[in-house]
Amino acid sequence: MKQDIFGLTIEELQAALTAKGMKTFRAKQVFQWLYQKSVFDFSAMRNLSKADIALLEENFTVLPRRIAVLREQNSSDGLTSKLLLGLPDGNSVETVLMRHDYGCSVCVSSQVGCDMHCAFCASGLNGAVRNLSAAEIIAQVYLFNERLRGENTMVSRVVVMGSGEPMLNFDAVIGALDFLHREDTCLMSYRNMTISTCGIIPGIRRLAEQGKPINLAVSLHAVRSELRTSLMPVNKGFPFADVITAAEAYSEAGGRQVTYEYILLKDKNDSVQDAELLSNYLRFKHASVNLIPANPVPEQGFERPSRQRVERFLKILQKNRINATVRKEMGKDIDAACGQLRAKFAKEQEHK
């Protein structure tokens, strides 16, 4: 069995390579190829000797080369790309690149599937299969870095907003973000990273203990208990009012504003009363609201409200001095909502 060296620290890489008889300084060269140049084929690492390349190929592998791109979808405007990745164990996850005028961001998945069973989400249709490793999360970013090489750029922002609940895979998520933060990898600022949670309070507290300026996003989606529980069963264990309190404590500890995500679902949570109620909860918080017109998931029968209803909701928040925006839509034509591509792919395989 070849050892996979992807995601090892420089010290670990040195230990692995010298154990096979390579010189210590080679590890640094390999490390630079992998994480600064996004080159994953040993044979393309041009400052290595033929003997070293042969030794590397014989003994080691690199995760991005063991991941198959099962599907690639690019939005018609060219701004969004979505990959369905086939992991070495046969599971698959989605990852999305979004090009903004301020740089490229990647939305990574943290788990295969999800156990939160939010009613409107495609990721949890079949529950969680397993956690992703830190290396598997880092690889999602680096597969896009590899694609961006030709444009002389790298991913500059990461949002942990793909499939899965990041707070239930806390160590791997933080491990991946710490790795991307290193100055000898992406040198990515924690301020350019966001973790989105459905409201796992112990996770929010642990994140606060980390003392890193990582952005916190909370998927709120409803501010009436019964409705939120019906949309997001997690509300039973962690009622949203307590989640807001924990998020506010996070904000106070680190000075970062919390973003509340609120999917607008037609005739479910998009009324004037809901907008007023949401305002009451957030009015004096260091918070902003990101309104997301629902991506309809055909399996679940949720619809997107009209533009007018979205505008009406937004106006009420703004009237109440809540910093609110409607999420810019990217990739609607490529099933970019959580889990949609994976779910579709699984269905197609079933019918084969």
* Active site residues per annotation: 94, 338
Q: Is 196 in the site for ligand SAH (CB under 6 A)?
A: yes
Residue 337 C-beta: closest distance to ligand SAH, Å:
4
- Return the range that interacts with ligand SAH (CB under 6 A); candidates 24-32, 80-88, 173-181, 288-296: 288-296
Residue among 29 and 288 whose Cβ is closer to ligand SAH:
288
- For helices 201-210 and 170-181, give the axis angle rounded to 10 degrees: 30
Residue among 87 and 292 whose Cβ is closer to ligand SAH:
292
Mask 207-246, x = binds ligand SAH (CB under 6 A)? ------------x---------------------------
Considering only 16, 204, 338, 341, the residue that binds ligand SAH (CB under 6 A) is 338
Q: Is 52 in the site for ligand SAH (CB under 6 A)?
A: no
Burial of 126 (0-12, 13-18, 19+ CB in 10 A): middle
Tokens for 36, please give them.
Answer: 């600064």
Q: Is 201 in the site for ligand SAH (CB under 6 A)?
A: no
Rounded to whole angstroms, how far apart are CA atoms 131 and 167? 11
Residues 6+ apart with CB under 8 A from 237: none
CB neighbours of residue 307 within 10 Å:
10
Rounded to whole angstroms, how far apart are CA atoms 93 and 341? 9
Mask 93-122, x = binds ligand SAH (CB under 6 A)? -----------------------x-x-xx-
Residue among 22 and 164 whose Cβ is closer to ligand SAH:
164
CB neighbours of residue 51 within 10 Å:
10
Question: Distances from the Cα of 123 to the Cαs of 64, 114, 118, 163, 298, in angstroms?
Answer: 23, 6, 9, 6, 13
Q: b or e along 75-114 (b: 16 or more beta carbons within 10 Å of the residue's beta carbon)?
A: beeeebbbbbbbbeeebbbbbbbbbeeeebbbbbbbbbbb
Residue 151 C-beta: closest distance to ligand SAH, Å:
27
Q: b or e along 236-266 (b: 16 or more beta carbons within 10 Å of the residue's beta carbon)?
A: eebbbeebbebbbebbeebebebbbbbbbbb
Mask 146-185, x = binds ligand SAH (CB under 6 A)? ---------------x---x--------------------
Residue among 120 and 179 whose Cβ is closer to ligand SAH:
120
Residue among 118 and 208 whose Cβ is closer to ligand SAH:
118
Q: Is 80 in the site for ligand SAH (CB under 6 A)?
A: no
Residue among 21 and 237 whose Cβ is closer to ligand SAH:
237
One-letter amino acid identity for 54? A
CB neighbours of residue 64 within 10 Å:
22
CB neighbours of residue 158 within 10 Å:
25
Considering only 337, 341, 342, 343, the residue that binds ligand SAH (CB under 6 A) is 337
User: Hey, which residues between 289 and 318 contact ligand SAH (CB under 6 A)?
Assistant: 292, 294-295, 297
Give me the phi and psi of 209, to 5 degrees please: -65, -25
Q: Is 125 in the site for ligand SAH (CB under 6 A)?
A: no
Q: Is 334 in the site for ligand SAH (CB under 6 A)?
A: no
Please report, as ranges, the residues that interact with ligand SAH according to CB under 6 A: 116, 118, 120-121, 161, 165, 196-198, 219, 261, 263, 292, 294-295, 297, 337-338
